Structure formats: C-alpha cells, structure tokens
Amino acid sequence: MKRYISSITAMLLTAILSIGCSNLLDQEPQGEWIDGDQKAGSYEADIFTIYGKLRGYNLTAGLPPLAIHGFRSEDAEKGSTASDGAEQARMFDDFEYVATNGMISSYYTANYEVIHLTNTVIDKIKNANQSSLTDGDKINKAEAHFFRAFAYFNLVRAFGEVPLIDFAVKNAEEANKPKAKISDIYKLIDTDLTIAEEFLPKNWASVYIGRLTWGTARALHAKTYLMRNDWQNTYTAASDIINSGIYNLNTAYNQIFREEGENNSGSIFEIQCTANATHPGSNEVGSQFAQVQGVRGAGEWNLGWGWHTPTQLLADAFEAEDPRKNETLLYFTKTGENQNDIPANSPYNEKPIANAAVVNKYYNKKAYTNPSLRAQYTKSGFWYNIRLIRYADVVLMAAESANELGNSGQAVIYLEQIRARARAGNNSILPEITTTNQVELRNAIRHERRVELGMEFDRFYDLVRWGVAQEVLHAAGKTNYQPKHEYLPLPQKEVDRSNGVLIQNPNY
C-alpha cells in the first residue's frame, strides 16, 4: 500500500507521472537491463508527459472511456439519476449514436494527443546520432512505441478505420489524412509492440513502480491478438507471460481492488495515482477514476458522481456464493431506507447511503476507496490506481486461445487457476470445470471472463469479437443494437474540418 503522507513517495510518483521531471533512469533497472549502469534517456521529459496523459479524464479515468468501454455492454449502465446525462444513456446504453456526441470527440482527441506526442519522440530518436543512443534512450523509444500502440488499439476498437499517422506532424494540414484499413492499423500496433517487447525491461526496482515493462507490452500484444481472434499468437503471447514467472494469482481477490492491493503480484498495467496534503483533490498526481464512479449521496456519502454502475444482469451472472460478486457490486441503501436491508459487504463494514433519486441498484466496488484516506484527503479518491491489465486476464486469454486451438486439457488447467483463487479454499463453491468438450468449455471460459473481469474494460469488446453482441444485447433489452454499432461514428467535427478527406463511418 502506498504511503500517502510520505513526501518521498509523492516526489517519486510526481517524477514518474508528471511533465519535465528529473532523471528517472539514474538507477539501473532490473531484468534484462543489468549489464552496467544505464544513463538516463535524453527524451525522458517527453516520455513523462505521456505518462501524465495516462491519468487523463478523457483517456482512462473519466466518463468518456467508461462510457465507451463500459456502458455499451449489458453488465454496466450510466447510473446516476435519470436526468443527469440522459443524452449519454441514449447514446451508449441505448445505442442511439450521435456523431456530435462530446464524449466520443474527447476520447478520439485524447488518444490522438498521445499518438502525436509519441510520434514526436520516435522522430527525434530516429534523427539523432544512432551511435550515441544510450540504453536509456532505447527504453524511452520503446515506451513511445508502446503508448502509440495503446492509443491506436483504443481507437481501432472504438471506431474501426481511423487515420494512420505514424510520423511527427509539423503542421495541422499534414494530419488531415483519410481513414486507414483496420489491418494496416493492427500492422502498426504489431510493429510498435514488438519494439517495446525488445527493449523494455522485465522488471524495475521498486522505486520505479508503474513503469512500462516487457510484460506490459506482451500482455497488450496478447489483447490485440485476442481482439482479432488470432488464437495462435494470443496463446503464444499469453504463454510467454505465464512462463516468465513474473506474475501470479497469489493476491486474494478481495485485496486486488483495495488500496493495499495496488501493484500486487498480478498487476501488469496499472496507472499510478496518489494524493498529497497540499493538493488532496488534484489531478496533478491523481485522477478522477474513483470520483466519477463514487456513491452519489449526501454529506459523508457524497463520494462522487455515481456513473458507470453494475446491472442486475451482472449480479445474476455470478454463481452461488462466488466471492467475486461482493467484490464487484457495492450495495447501498437510499436515503430514508432501512440499512438492515442490504448486506454488510462493503469494505470496512460500511453501508453507503445514496441519493434517493439514483436509478442504479449497485455501484462499482472496484472503484471504492478507503474511508480513512477519504477523511484525511478528499472524498473523491484521487489517489486510487487504475488497473488496466491484470494477470488473471492473461491466464483467461491463454485458456480461451488454448481451447480454440484444440488444446482443451491446457485450457482446463488455466481456467481452474482462476476459479481456485476465487474460491479461496472453500471447496463447496465454484466447482472445478472438467469438461473437455470445446463448446462447453468455450462457454465456461466466456462466463469466467465475465465474472472475473466484471466492471473492468472489455465486456462489450468480448461480445463483439465473439460475434454474439446483437444476440446478448437484445436479450438484455438493448434492442436498438445493430451490427453497425460495433463501431462508434467518427466525431463529426473531425469529419467536417477535414474538407472531405475523412469519411464518416457507414450509416451515420
């Protein structure tokens, strides 16, 4: 757990995540980079700028990414009150897509900001004296390639074909490009992640917690292959991570999303956030991730905006007594209701009280903060880390791809690892899955992804790549969904300003 009141910790995290900070590579990283003192990268200030962008409201922490990744599935909805952001419920819950929607514009722009920054770094290094590049420079370049792949993966999943800009933009006109084929976008992603895998270290000293590693790049690469249903490459990438021995499932599920579980042994890509006494509610070192999903109450229970909330369908998806249910759903009572009517499952034995007008039945417990830290800093939870890729996801990717490749025996082994951690020694629940029938095992793995990764970032995209989005969403009452809704419309203002170069997605 982070020491929030430590000025040393605050300085280190600020150095990692802020713009224009001092050398981060002075100390030799651990893993592949162990053959002598490494000089700091000359491009570190540019890289620190991008690390800072990761905590951005429009990229990972706020309503635009939560709406795009979360609301569109059957397991999450807007939440809050019916009138608060009703147009966003129509847009993302009900699939009444509008090309002028501000959230898609903000998300699109935030990802291209990262892309432009990474292109600048890559261009600087490309035009430098290659013989003078240090190992630190090569790490900086690898980080830039990872961030570009990350941003393009966000864009290609959300919008499909988008402009492919893989060069440093000197003037705005150069960036006015037509849409590229999805295959070409993935080709760049593959190239970028291959470079990142080659030069990023496998481990860092603990003082550099949160820095990109080989495992981060390899895991993201596995996710990009999975999205393409490229089973062999998914299995190879996921197996590489599993066989590395760097990560494990030893952290109890009820600790993963608590502050003491930050950067645990199963954390592969986690955005670092903190709070300090001077600016307890500041985005300088924190994010709004917990705030936008916090309990929408009053007084001591005014913890946030109450958006991105679990549905009853997700609640019903958990098997009997699955402990993950009470670590995913945050139960609450409304103002004036009897608190004895809700389970005391909240961490620290709290029973939140929400605004009586909220439409949701649950809040996202995977964004719930420690009351002692709320009392010390702010109710908004700016210190709460954002878990983007977990080792459990990698193990489930290995299970799914193994099964699709006909290796059901190995798939069963990986599936059981996830269920064994979840049951936490209670053998009366979550029985072991033993079937080797490919269809039955496929359904079991898909179920496990749903409950293990509930309220995280992939359910809608899982439905799309499985080819069942329309079937599942219609059954859930989201009958407006049609195949065209796999992709969002491009932001209309980007189409308009292109003077005919950028063509809107079909049927919008």
Token pair in block for residue 127: 């035009």
pLDDT of residue 12: 36
**190 lies in some domain:** yes
What ranges make up the beta strands (E) of 90-157? none
Q: Which of 165, 200, 235 is the last residue of a domain?
A: 200
Token pair in block for residue 477: 């009452």
Query: H or E element: which one contains 271?
Result: strand 267-271
CATH of the domain at 125: 1.25.40.390
**26 lies in some domain:** no
Structural domain that includes position 116: 42-200
Q: What is the dihedral of CA 215, 217, 219, 221, to 10 degrees?
A: -150
Alpha helices in 329-437 (DSSP H): 371-376, 391-404, 408-423
Q: Which of 384, 415, 449 is the last residue of a domain?
A: 384
Token pair in block for residue 58: 């429009």
3-class DSSP state of 385: coil
Q: Which of 354, 384, 414 is the last residue of a domain?
A: 384
Q: Are the beta carbons of 359 and 80 closer than 8 angstroms?
A: yes
Total-model pTM:
0.92
Q: Are the beta carbons of 445 and 392 closer than 8 angstroms?
A: no
195 and 292, same structural domain? no
**107 lies in some domain:** yes
Per run of 10 residues, the mean pLDDT along the chain (length 508 residues) is 37 38 30 38 87 96 98 98 98 98 98 98 94 93 98 98 97 94 98 98 90 98 98 98 98 96 98 81 82 95 97 98 96 82 66 94 96 91 97 99 98 98 97 98 98 98 98 98 98 97 94
pLDDT of residue 27: 29
**280 lies in some domain:** no
User: ∠ CA(266), CA(272), CA(277), 5° rounding?
Assistant: 135
Q: How many residues does the chain have?
A: 508
Token pair in block for residue 498: 């292109």
Q: Are the beta carbons of 499 and 506 closer than 8 angstroms?
A: no
327 and 192, same structural domain? no
292 and 168, same structural domain? no
Number of domains making up the chain: 2
298 and 172, same structural domain? no
Q: Are the beta carbons of 211 and 31 closer than 8 angstroms?
A: no
Alpha helices in 39-170 (DSSP H): 44-54, 63-66, 86-88, 102-126, 135-159
**281 lies in some domain:** no
Q: Which amino acid is at 241?
A: I
CA–centroid distance for 117 within its chain: 20
Q: Are the beta carbons of 291 and 382 closer than 8 angstroms?
A: yes
pLDDT of residue 206: 84
Please give the DSSP secondary-structure letter assigned to residue 479.
Answer: T
**389 lies in some domain:** no
pLDDT of residue 480: 98
Q: Measuring CA to CA, how many Å separate 244 from each of 219, 315, 418?
A: 12, 35, 18
330 and 195, same structural domain? no
Residue with tokens 């009366």: 428
**97 lies in some domain:** yes
Sorted by sequence, the CB contacts under 8 Å of residue 346 that are 6+ apart come out as: 330, 331, 352, 365, 368
297 and 193, same structural domain? no
Task: Report the C-alpha gap between 408 and 383 in whole angstroms.
Answer: 42
312 and 195, same structural domain? no
153 and 57, same structural domain? yes
Task: Report the C-alpha gap between 265 and 199 in whole angstroms.
Answer: 22
49 and 166, same structural domain? yes
50 and 185, same structural domain? yes
For the chain, the 3-state helix, strand and coil shares in percent, each to the nearest 5, are 50, 5, 45
**392 lies in some domain:** no
User: ∠ CA(366), CA(330), CA(262), 5° rounding?
Assistant: 25
